[in-house]
């Protein structure tokens, strides 16, 4: 906690002055981000830093495994769904990025028995069901399931493609994608070197972010 307090002091003294005018404008006029970024809660994933963006540029949703729960119309609590709806239907973002990453603990957990008492992690166990299809698809494709590095890496990437499909179960996302006012993107962030790959839906494979942008 002491380091966080020191960090805020450094932020206020060193960084905030250069952002002050922009932030005051955002306070006065409200936020209008173009991008909804859906990423993992993993502490090593840092959307603002790794994309070098300013306050107001991205509406950020983070959860375990960067999973997108399918649309479900009921009266239960749906935090991730609420964030997606708010970004798409209220803020009217133009892009949604689902960003997976290497060494994802959620994807690795799909292949492990959770040893803790179930009642202590009941929500984790349920949430990980969102990765079941990606796990099954990975196991049908991989040649050597004992090669854990390749197993986890492939699962992480395939999971991103399933989250993109789940996004299209949201009525307003589907509507806006179909009329061209919204684009969805699948990204894969490598913790090792900070690079990003994007999913090419036509080629059905991940390519470098630069190649993806230059090809469109």
* pLDDT tens figures, 147-164: 999 999 999 999 999 999
Using the predicted structure, report yes or no on whether residue 118 has a pLDDT greater than 90. no
The domain made up of 31-211 has a fold known as Beta-carbonic Anhydrase; Chain A (3.40.1050)
Cα–Cα–Cα angle for 42, 45, 46, nearest 5°? 130
Total-model pTM = 0.94
pLDDT of residue 202: 87
pLDDT of residue 215: 54
Is 158 within 8 Å of 138 (Cβ atoms)?
A: yes
103 labeled binding residue = no
Rounded CA-CA distance 157/16 in Å is 36
104 labeled binding residue = yes
Is 135 within 8 Å of 111 (Cβ atoms)?
A: yes
101 labeled binding residue = yes
């Amino acid at each position: 906690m002491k380091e966080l307090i020191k960090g805020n002091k450094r932020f206020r003294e060193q960084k905030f002055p250069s952002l002050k005018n922009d932030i005051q404008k955002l306070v006065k006029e409200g936020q209008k981000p173009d991008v909804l970024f859906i990423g993992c809660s993993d502490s090593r994933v840092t959307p603002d830093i790794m994309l070098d963006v300013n306050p107001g540029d991205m509406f950020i949703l983070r959860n375990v495994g960067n999973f997108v729960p399918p649309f479900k119309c009921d009266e239960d609590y749906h935090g991730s769904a609420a964030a997606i709806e708010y970004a798409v239907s209220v803020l009217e973002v133009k892009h949604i990025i689902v960003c997976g990453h290497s060494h994802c603990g959620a994807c690795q957990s799909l292949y492990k028995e959770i040893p803790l008492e179930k009642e202590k992690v009941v929500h984790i166990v349920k949430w990980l069901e969102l990765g079941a299809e990606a796990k099954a698809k990975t196991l049908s494709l991989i040649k050597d399931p004992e090669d854990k590095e390749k197993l986890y890496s492939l699962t992480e990437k395939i999971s991103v493609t399933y989250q993109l499909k789940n996004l299209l179960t949201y009525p307003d996302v589907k509507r806006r994608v179909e009329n061209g006012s919204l684009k969805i993107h699948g990204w894969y962030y490598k913790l090792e070197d900070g690079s990003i790959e994007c999913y090419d839906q036509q080629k059905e494979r991940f390519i470098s972010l630069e190649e993806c942008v230059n090809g469109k």
